[in-house]
Amino acid sequence: MYRVAVCDDDQDVREEVSRLIREWKPEIQVECFESGESLAKTYASYHAVFLDIDMKGMNGIETGKWIRKRDRETKIVYLTAYQDYVAGAFGVHAFQYLLKPVKKEDIRKVLEDIFSYMHVPEKRPVLDFQTVNGLLCVPAEEIYYFEYISRRVEIVTADGVYAMAEKIGRVAKRMKSYGFSMPHQSFVVNMLHVRNILTGRILLDNGMEIPLAQKRQKEWKQELITYLSEKMGEKP
């Protein structure tokens, strides 16, 4: 049985969204919560969470980050009355954004996307690199960043660090289509792992930090917003 949570501090919104979900597929188990705190208190594994952004107490961004620390699989769908909230959701990796008042066709479309997505095996592109110690094959999503240091490029992955004789510019060009970008002349970062942007540096979801060049800040932030928007299927 599919389980879905609806979290919104507006009772009318909770009731309307849950009604539309059940109308689309009556067998879905829908649980409603009036705050981020109440959802966190009894959180169980859900296939999807419809989450209001602008709530008192724990807002939707904070609640989404709390969920992501415990559940990387659930699909988070943000409900918002404002269009410009994409940049605030670093690290949450939302599945979609829906504008209020929520429309029936929008709910149906996102539900179809969520549950059809669950039945399609996720393609994980595996890339190969010629390192100083031999051929390395690694999924793109497991690479955090590349760093040019001591005339070599280091590949920082979830399993370790590997070095190869390569130019950082060539790496940036090759990795662009996989969601990587160049925030600094010596770094190419996987935007999938960006958690937050701080002054002059980027915080990744594994706790690592890499520099963000001052002259690149505005342009790079827009690249990240575009990446997040495209990942969620919306135009930036």
pLDDT, tens digit (0-9, with 9 covering 90-100), for 69-126: 888 889 999 998 876 555 455 556 778 888 889 999 999 999 998 887 665 555 678 8
Long-range contacts of 103-108 (CB under 8 A, 24+ apart): 104/20, 104/23, 107/17, 107/20, 107/21, 107/24, 108/20, 108/24
Backbone angles phi, psi at 218, to 5 degrees: -60, -50
Question: Which pLDDT score is estimated for 234?
Answer: 47
Question: Which pLDDT score is estimated for 19?
Answer: 96
Question: Which pLDDT score is estimated for 13?
Answer: 95
Q: What is the dihedral of CA 198, 189, 193, 99, to 10 degrees?
A: 70
Instruction: Give the pLDDT band of residue 146 (cuts 50, 70, 90).
Output: very high
Which region among 18-32, 78-92, 211-225 has the lowest average model confidence (pLDDT)? 78-92
- Residue 125, classed as helix, strand or coil, is coil
Long-range contacts of 110-115 (CB under 8 A, 24+ apart): 110/77, 111/21, 111/24, 111/25, 111/48, 113/233, 114/47, 114/48, 114/75, 114/77, 115/2, 115/47
Q: Is the omega angle on the peptide bond into residue 236 within 30 degrees of 0, that is, cis?
A: no
Question: Which pLDDT score is estimated for 132?
Answer: 93
Which region among 93-97, 131-135, 162-166 has the lowest average model confidence (pLDDT)? 93-97
Instruction: Give the pLDDT band of residue 205 (cuts 50, 70, 90).
Output: confident
**Model confidence at 143: pLDDT above 50:** yes
**Model confidence at 37: pLDDT above 90:** yes
Average pLDDT in the 6-17 region? 96
* Residue that wins the pLDDT comparison between 222 and 163: 163
CA distance 181 to 203: 14
On whether the pTM is more than 0.85, the answer is: no
